[in-house]
Amino acid sequence: MSEQVADNRNSAGTIIMVVLAFSTIYAVSRYHIAGPVPWKDFPMLILNKTLSLAAFVLLTMNFGLGPLNYLGVPVSQAWLNARKALGMTGFLLVMLHALMSFLLFGPAAYGKFFMTDGSLTLLAGLSMLFGVLAFVVLWGYNMSFQTFLREDKAFIKFITSRKFMLFALLLGAAHLFFMGYEGWLNPAGWHGGMPPISLVAFSLFAVGYTINLLGRK
């Protein structure tokens, strides 16, 4: 009985709350406390960054916990049971991030992405392209959990395949790279010595991608 109860434990709620708390504290510390961003920008600009980081952390855990366990690193059953909820929550946060970014996107909030004539820079265009592609891929992966698609075995096999998951990771990493790599190369400009959120998220994706390459059956 006790073994069965242990197998049914699920730490999704705790993990999600901790990840959201960490992401919020990091964003506030970097941009408001150590940086120049005024507090009036928290509800949209900084919270959007918080949601982005939290989404990437949760998606990385969704993709990486199983392979990590397969590699011999002990992962509790409660964490393994949380993977579906972490992935779906990460997808919902990506949706919120995409919507908020759409509302904010303009020279006032993202001046470095625009030319003097108001058009997008090349890096901004690439970042947006890969961001949209990553969103579509994650949406497709999320659709695999829908009951009405369960009988479509070919779709489920493709959407949950190792290659598809790694493709999703690469798209997300490309979005982050083109979004912020210029700032990554200037540590002197990091507020309070804290790396940009895009670099933190990219690093997590790199870890998750490597774990998937090495540990997925």
Of the pLDDT bands very low, low, confident and very high (cuts 50, 70, 90), residue 146 is: low
Residue 46 pLDDT grade (very low, low, confident, very high; cuts 50, 70, 90) = very high
Q: The pTM is what?
A: 0.84
Q: Please, what are the domains in the chain?
A: 2-215 (1.20.120)
> How far apart, in whole angstroms, are the C-alpha atoms of residue 163 and residue 159?
9
Quickly state the pLDDT bin for 129 (edges 50, 70, 90): confident
pLDDT score of 41 more than 80? yes
pLDDT cut 70: percent of the chain above it: 85
Whole-number pLDDT of residue 20: 97
164 vs 153: CA distance, rounded Å: 15
